[in-house]
Amino acid sequence: MVKLINTGNMNAFNIENQGNGVYNLIFDTPGEKVNKLTTEAFIQLDKTIDEIRKLDDIKLLFFKSAKEGYFIVGADINEIANITDKDDAAKICERGLAIIKKIEDLPFPTVAVLDGVCMGGGLELALAFDYRISTDDKSTQIALPEVKLGIFPGLGGTQRLPRLIGLQRSLPLILTGKSVNGLKALKLNIVDACYHREYLDSGLKKFTDTVLKNPDKILRKRKRRGAMNFFLEKTAIGRSAVYRSAKKSLYKSTNGNYPAPVNALEVIKKGYKKSLNRGLKIETKHFAEVVIGDVSKYLIRLFFISESLKKYDGVDTDTTFNKKKVDKVGVLGAGIMGAGISWILSKNSTEILLKDINYDALTKGLSTCKNYYKYYLKSRKMKPAQVDMKMMNITGQTNYNGFKSTDMVIEAVFEDMEVKKQTLTETENSVSANTIIASNTSSLSITEMGTSLEDPKRFIGMHFFNPVNRMPLVEIIPGTDTSDETIIHTVNLAKKMGKVPVVVKDSPGFLVNRILLPYMNEAAYLMSEGVKPERIDRVIKAFGMPMGPLELFDEVGIDVAYKVSKIFDKELGERMKSADILNNIYNDAGLRGKKSGKGVYLYTKKGKKPNPVIDQIVKDSGASKAKNITDREIEERIIYRMINESAYCLQEHIVTNPEYLDMAMIIGTGFPPFRGGVLKYADTIGLSNILNSLNSYKEKYGIRFTPCQLLKEHADADQDICRM
C-alpha cells in the first residue's frame, strides 16, 4: 500500500512509502510539462532530503519523475543566461553541490530511475545516487549537453562521471554533449540496469532485492578489466595519452573557438586523481569563468531562438485553422533533391509517391534513398528490417496515379521557370482541391510560378538545402497569393521532417542565397585583384566559416553560382554586379567546379590544389599583385558585405525577425555559432565601426559597399540591429 507523505501542496517533491522500508522520492513540478532544476526546485529538494533523513524505517530510496517521457531536462537555462558575475556563478554552483552532496551522504542505498529525458543537471543529480536504472524507451535519452550551450557540467558531472565509467568513456560524452539511450547507458555503466518500461515495476522489485541482499553483484559489473584499460586509466603515462588524444580531437573539431570543452578537459585532467571535494572546487572555478563568457551567452541565445522557431507557425496573425495531417506526399523528380526529400519523408513515416519521367531515373532516386540509410545501419541506429519498412513508404511511378489522395505535392524538377510552370499545371490537374502544392527552388519566383495555377492560394515555395539529408534549414516562401493556411501546414510538415523552417519573402535568392552571394562575389573581386584564392579561403576559415568562399564556389558549382549572379545583376542592380572574373572562369575557361574536377581548385583523389589557370586569368586581366591588401581587409570586405546585405534583407522585410536571420545563416551556411550570428556579430563589433569601414571601401572600390539605410539608422541611434 503506497502511503503519501505530504511535503506541501506546491512542493515539486513528494515522498511515497512503498512499505517494507522502501520509499519513493517523486519529482513533479506543479503546472509544468517537464522537470527542471531551478533555484526554487533545489530549495525544495534540500528541505525534502531533510525530511527523508528523519524517517527511521527507510532501507532504500528510489528517485523518480512523475512526468511521462521526462526525468529531468536539466537546469533552468533562463537562470544560467542571467548569470553575469563570476562570484555569483560560483555561489550558485556551491549551493547546488551542497544539496547534491546531502543525497550522496544519505546512510541508506539510493537509486535514480531514469525513465525519459535525462539531461545536464538531471544526470549530474542522478550521479550522486548509489545506483541508476534506466528504461529502454525511445524517450530515454541521457546526456551532459552543456558544451552545446557554451558551458560544461557545473554540478559535479566532470568529476563523478569519469570516476564512475572512466576517462575513455566519459570524455566523449562530456566534451561533445552526445546523448545515449538506456541500453547504451547500461553498456557504458552509467546505469546498472535497463528495463522495458512495461516491466519497470517488476524490474525495480528485482533490483531492490539485489541491492539489499547482494550489492556487490552490481558493483562488480562496473569494473572494467584488461591490460590496456589498466594502462590508460590507472597509469599517469596512459592517462596523459588519453588527454592528448582528446585535446587533439577537440581542437580539430572546434579550432579552439569554444572555451567550454577546452575548460572541461582541463578540469577533468586537474581533478581526476584528486579527492572528489577538491575536484568539485576546480570544476566550480572554471565553470564560473566560462558561464559569464560571450560564447556562452551567444550559444544560449541561439538555443532560445531555436526554441522560438519550434513554436512559430509561420504567420503573425491569429489563426483558427485545424491542423492538417500530412500523411501522404507526392514528390516530382527523383534527382538528388527529390530523392533527398523522399528519404526524409520516409524516415518520418510518411507515404510518398515519387514520380519521374522514366524508370531509370526512379531507380537512381530509390538507390539514393537506400544509400542514405547506410549510416543508420552502420551506426546500428536501425536494423535492416527497419530500413526495409521505411523504404516501403516510397512508391516509384512514372504517372500521377494516386495523386488525388495526396495531402501535399513537392515539385523538385529542373530549375527552369517554364519547365516548373508546365509541371505545376499538370500537377494541379492531377490532385484534389485540398492538396497543397510546393516547389523546391533556390532562386525562381514563387509568385510568377503561381500564375500557372488556377488556385495559387495553395501554392508555396520550399527551398531545401543540399545535401537534403544533412542540411536542417528549409526556407518557406509564400507567393503574393499564398494563404496563411498553406503557410502553416507547410511549416508544420517541415517540422515533421525534422527540419528548421524559416518563412521568407519571395525575392531574388530569398534569404540565405541573397546574403551568401555578395559574400562569395567579394571573394571573387579580391581574387581578381591578385589575392591568392588559398589565402582568401584561409582568412575566412580562420574567421570561423566551415569552408572558404572560393571553395564554396567549387562546391555549389561555378555554373550554378554564375547563373544566379546574373539573376541578381538583373533584379538587384549595380550594387550586386558580379565580378568580371566569374565570366572569365565560367565562359572563357569553362571551369565548373568540384563536380568536373576543375574550378578555382583542381580536384583529384589525393585532394585539391590551386588551379594554375586562375593565376593566368588574373594575370591576363592586368591585375596587380595584392601587396597592400591585408588579411584584415580580406575579412572585412567579405564579412561586412554579408552583414550589410543582412541589413538590406531586414529593411526589405525578406525576413522580419533578425534572430531568425541569424539562425538561418548559421544552419544554412555554417556562419560560426561562437560569433552569435551575422547580426549579433555586427552588434558586437559596433555598427558605427562597420558603417565607417563600408563608407571607406565604397570610396575605394565602388557602389557595392553602399551601406544599407537601416544599418545607418541603427548606427546613428547607437542601437543594436538585433533589437528591432
Across residues 686-712, what is the average pLDDT?
96
Is the model's pLDDT at 700 over the cut of 90?
A: yes
Domain limits of the chain? 3-292, 328-503, 512-723
Residue with cell 534549414: 473
Q: How far is residue 45's CA from residue 7's CA, in Å, rounded to a whole number? A: 10
CATH hierarchy code of domain 512-723? 1.10.1040.50
Confidence band, pLDDT 50/70/90 cuts, at residue 325? confident
> Which pLDDT score is estimated for 1?
43
Residue type, 596: S
Helix locations, 192-293, DSSP H: 200-213, 216-222, 227-234, 236-254, 259-271, 276-291
Contacts of 252 (CB under 8 A, 6+ apart): none
Q: Which residues are catalytic?
A: 475
Q: What is the pLDDT of residues 483-522, one digit of tens each?
A: 999 999 999 999 999 999 999 999 999 999 999 999 999 9
Q: How far is residue 17's CA from residue 202's CA, in Å, rounded to a whole number? A: 17
> Which pLDDT score is estimated for 3?
54
| Number of neighbours of residue 283 by Cβ within 10 angstroms | 27
SS3 annotation, 619-651: HHCCCCCCCCCCHHHHHHHHHHHHHHHHHHHHH
Contacts of 302 (CB under 8 A, 6+ apart): 662, 663, 666, 673, 676, 677
Indicate the pairing of strand 473-478 with strand 500-503.
parallel
Across residues 361-384, what is the average pLDDT?
93
Across residues 141-151, what is the average pLDDT?
97
Across residues 60-78, what is the average pLDDT?
96
Is the model's pLDDT at 4 over the cut of 60?
A: no
Contacts of 200 (CB under 8 A, 6+ apart): 113, 115, 135
Is the model's pLDDT at 103 over the cut of 60?
A: yes
Is the model's pLDDT at 10 over the cut of 90?
A: no
DSSP string covering 571-590: HH-GGGPPPHHHHIIIIIS-
Is the model's pLDDT at 557 over the cut of 70?
A: yes
Q: What is the pLDDT of residues 589-644, one digit of tens each?
A: 999 999 999 999 999 988 899 999 999 999 887 766 667 899 999 999 999 999 99
Confidence band, pLDDT 50/70/90 cuts, at residue 323? confident
Residue type, 62: F
Question: Residue 501: which H helix or E strand, with range?
Answer: strand 500-503
In 3D space, the residue among 409, 416, 412, 460 whose CA is nearest the CA of residue 430 turns out to be 409
**Contact call for residues 333 and 411 (beta carbons, < 8 A):** yes
Where is pLDDT greater, at 320 or 249? 249
- Judging by beta carbons within 10 Å of its beta carbon (0-12, 13-18, 19+), is residue 413 exposed, middle or buried? buried
The overall average pLDDT reported for the chain is 94
Q: How far is residue 115's CA from residue 478's CA, in Å, rounded to a whole number? A: 42
Half-sphere exposure of 550 (CA within 13 A, CB side): 33
Q: What is the pLDDT of residues 385-435, one digit of tens each?
A: 999 999 999 999 999 999 999 999 999 999 899 999 999 999 999 999 999
| CATH match of 328-503 with 3.40.50.720 | yes
Rounded to two decimals, the pTM is 0.93
- Note the CATH architecture for domain 3-292: Alpha-Beta Complex (3.90)
Residue type, 359: Y
| In the chain, % of residues over pLDDT 70 | 97
